Amino acid sequence: MSYYDIDSILTDAQKLPCTFELEVPGLGILEGNAGEDIKAGTRIDLPLWLGEMLSIGARLGTSRLVTLDMPEALSERVMNALKADPRTLDLRALAPHFYNLSERILELFEEEEMVDVLGDAFKKRAADIADHAHNSRGAVGGGVDFLRGLDETERQLFRVAHDRAKDMRIWTGEAKRK
Amino acid sequence: MAFPLPRGVTASEIAFLAEMETVTIVPRQRLEGLELLGGPIEPLVPPRRASLPLWLALLLKRQRRANIIPPTWLHPEPLALILEVESQHQDYKNAFSPPPPLPGQPSILDRDALPSARPQYTPDGNRYYAAPPFLHQNTAQTVASSRDPPSLPFHWVEVGNLLLDAASDDLVDPDQIRRLLKDLREVRMAKMRSGVDVLDAAATGGGGVALTGVGSMELGEDRGFITGVVDGLRRIGSSKEQARREQMAEQRANGGYDGTQDDDEEEDYMEF
């Protein structure tokens, strides 16, 4: 992940539910009413980079400014769905950078089980992505929905696999160069 | 995307590399010896067989100045046999059929024999061990003993396709060969796909996935995908890996000074 990696920047912008522990004067702009104070106990969705920064006191042991919660995309409900059948889930609707987001979240929270569930889901979906990528007719039938639900990491995988399969077909003369 | 070419090696580049392979030809015309960068070419005297790099053989074939003798494995019978092993044999349900033995490597028929690598020497007297494309895996006369089962060389997709394109009249039953090559590729692609399940072994520390017997074209085709999956798995598991390392460091710090270092190491390995 480099400094200029656009996917990393976009992951940083994903919203995370945060609860303010202290009253902060003049920060009401985050809530949408500029000039006001923010009350303790307010729940606001903050971008990942901001939430991470504000919660840093919690990790240093001093009084924390905000506490972080699990984003909706990684809730218990989603994890159960992933355990049941990873292929039917529309990850893109949950978060466009689902795996990048979960990678960052897992750095903040200790969730051993989530690592296993996500790893397993990624593997199972990757196998399906390979199937669709090697299909020369493109997406057919139920494949359209599955491919639409890929997150950004998976899309890149699909693109690589598909381009390679196409390159191969062009070389063997099965497909025409466009 | 600023750089227009796809990352990694493209199919045509792999095919270009495969043209270094040595094949056997029967010249139809006399040709004087050539001093090439890749080594001297002996004078061609019909009807004596000669070994040439594939690119030169294809050039002579296109000019109708030579006939290419297909490699031993590029016949319907050995290909059908390999296909049967790949698709039916119990031992190779999830594995690829073994590559041709390296010089000095014992045949897979006698498993107990120890390998004895035979070094070769450069003109300067330096010792080296030959590897593809400098092994004669695609010549008509085999180096390996005849009781070895047929096997696919590293560049089988490229050599097979190039010879089918340029020299199909020199092959025995080219249509059958083309069909068999296609079937083989499909069987092996399916194995590659089902192999995604074991890729998390490569993402954890110290693990690996065996790709013995996979051809260069197959590797080139799947490289981007496989590395992508392994990288994704590694990133998802990185927090767990981090926690495990911290735990290990903690254990070492707790008992490290009164206990011996060796005991600690053993404890760590038990956890894997």
Domain hosting residue B92, numbered range: 9-105+127-227
* pLDDT score recorded for residue B206: 65
Residue B46 falls inside a structural domain: yes
Q: What is the mean pLDDT of residues A20-27?
A: 80
pTM recorded for the entire structure: 0.78
Residue A142 pLDDT grade (very low, low, confident, very high; cuts 50, 70, 90): low
User: Is B243 a member of any domain?
Assistant: no
Contact B222 A164 (CB under 8 A): yes
B246 lies in some domain: no
Tell me if B202 is assigned to some domain. Answer: yes
Provide the pLDDT for residue B1. 46
pLDDT, position B205: 64
Quick one: which of B162, B161, B156, B160 has its CA closest to B216? B156
Give residue B268's pLDDT.
43
Say if CB B220 and CB B14 are below 8 A apart.
yes
Number of C-beta neighbours around residue A29 at 10 A: 11
Residue B272 lies in a domain: no
Residue A54 and residue A68: Cα distance in Å, rounded?
9
Number of domains in chain B: 1
Q: Report if residue B150 sits inside a domain.
A: yes
By Cβ distance, the residue of A119, A168, A172 closest to B237 is A119
Q: Is residue B70 part of a domain?
A: yes
- Answer yes or no: are the C-beta atoms of A47 and A101 closer than 8 Å: no
Local mean pLDDT, 10-residue blocks, chain B (272 residues): 67 88 89 83 86 90 90 88 85 77 67 68 78 71 60 88 88 90 88 78 70 85 86 84 83 64 43 38
Question: Which residues of A lie closer than 8 Å to B, measured between beta carbons?
Answer: 99, 102-103, 106-107, 110, 112, 115, 118-119, 122-123, 126-127, 130-131, 133-134, 153, 156-157, 160-161, 163-165, 167-168, 170-173
Asked if residue A68 has pLDDT above 80, the reply is yes
Q: Is CATH 1.20.1250.20 the classification given to domain A73-178?
A: no
Q: Please return the burial class of B187, using the count of CB atoms within 10 Å of its CB with bins 0-12, 13-18 and 19+.
A: middle
A105 close to A72: Cβ distance less than 8 angstroms: no
Residue B241 falls in which region: left (phi positive, over 0), alpha (psi -120 to 50) or beta: alpha
Looking at the domain assignment, is residue B233 inside a domain?
Answer: no
Closest to A106 measured CA to CA, from A134, A79, A143: A79
ipTM over 0.85: no
Residue B92 belongs to domain with CATH number? 1.20.58.1020
In DSSP terms, which residues pair with B39 in a beta bridge? B36
Compute the count of residue pairs across chains A and B with CB atoms less than 8 Å apart: 94
How far apart (Å, rounded) are the C-alpha atoms in residues A68 and B157? 54
Chain B residues touching residue A173 (CB < 8 angstroms): 165
> Is A173's CB within 8 Å of B165's CB?
yes
A41: its two tokens: 């106990």
The helix/strand/coil state of A16 is strand
- Give CATH 1.20.58.2050 domain extents, chain A: 1-69, 73-178
The CATH topology of domain A1-69 is: Methane Monooxygenase Hydroxylase; Chain G, domain 1 (1.20.58)
Please give the helix or strand (H or E) that residue B267 lies within, else none. helix B261-271
- Phi/psi class of residue B206: alpha, beta or left (left: φ > 0; alpha: ψ in -120 to 50)? left
